[in-house]
Amino acid sequence: MVLVIILAVLILAGCSPASEPLDTSSPPRLVDVANVEPAESMSWMTLPGRVESSRRTKLSFEVTGQVEYLALDVGDAFQRGDILARLNGERYQLTYERSKAAEVEARTGLADVQRELRRLTRLRQGGHTSEATLENAEAAVAGARARVDSAVASRKLAARDLEQTSLRAPFDGTVARRHAEPGQRVAANEVIFNLVSSGDGFDVLTRVPENVIGQVQAESSSQCQCPHWTAHRRPRG
């Protein structure tokens, strides 16, 4: 039995084909080699949020009055410096004109007492008037100068109030909300428009659950999808 097994092994070994020689006539093939590194782990979470302009403001008049003109409505675009609204400025125009007239009168009065002071100064040098009279003239000049200063301040304030009857856009953007209508009387600092900028980008506001807030890294990137991003525009009246 042992002999049979040995003979069978020898027969099988003799029947196996001889090793083929290596073919060295073909050039070696070039292959790309790269280091395999583990990919960064990424996790996804869908969160509801709100998109807001990075720059927004509430616009209001600094004076009271009746709204005479409103240029825009919700969704309308504007450029920096555009007049968005205007109050009836008749009262402010009259106040400004009166303040200018008062300034002219005050300057005229100052010129009169200054001439009188110069005359009395010459007389005093010649001994033809008293020191008390000269001092009274100097006091009159000081009072006239104070009246001129007050008139100038009143004129500047009146000019500022008149200018404030026109509401100008502080930047390029669109109207988010309008709170007034033509003919409406508004108080100082009462909001007329909510404005959003068109050139400063947007902020996305959302709430991250407490159990994952520690996994959010500063300056990490996120994707934002707005499936219902449509322009809202109300017809102008």
pLDDT in the model for residue 4: 41
- Domain ranges in the chain are 48-88+167-209, 90-164
Q: Looking at the domain that runs over 90-164, which CATH code has it been given?
A: 1.10.287
pLDDT in the model for residue 10: 44
Q: Distance between CA atoms of 194 and 167, rounded to whole angstroms? A: 13
Helix, strand counts (H, E) of the chain: 3, 10
Q: Which pLDDT tens digit goes with each residue over 201-223?
A: 566 667 777 777 767 676 666 66
**At residue 92, does pLDDT exceed 60?**
yes
- pTM exceeds cut of 0.75: no
Residue that has been written with the tokens 């960064």 in this structure? 40
**At residue 29, does pLDDT exceed 80?**
no
If one compares 98 and 18, the residue with the highest pLDDT of the two is 98
- Residue 184 CA neighbour count, 13 Å, CB half: 14
List CB contacts of 145: < 8 A, sequence separation 6 or more. 110
Q: ∠ CA 164-165-169 to the nearest 5 degrees?
A: 70
Pick the CATH number of 48-88+167-209 from 2.40.50.140, 1.10.260.40, 2.40.50.100, 1.10.10.10: 2.40.50.100
Task: State the chain's mean pLDDT as an integer.
Answer: 81
If one compares 200 and 118, the residue with the highest pLDDT of the two is 118
- When pLDDT is cut at 50, 70 and 90, the band that residue 11 belongs to is very low
Contact 55, 200 (CB under 8 A): yes
Ordered alpha helix ranges (H), the chain:
2-15, 90-125, 131-163
**At residue 7, does pLDDT exceed 60?**
no
Q: Which span out of 15-29, 98-112, 121-135 was modeled with the highest average pLDDT? A: 98-112
If one compares 137 and 1, the residue with the highest pLDDT of the two is 137
If one compares 52 and 146, the residue with the highest pLDDT of the two is 146
pLDDT in the model for residue 218: 67
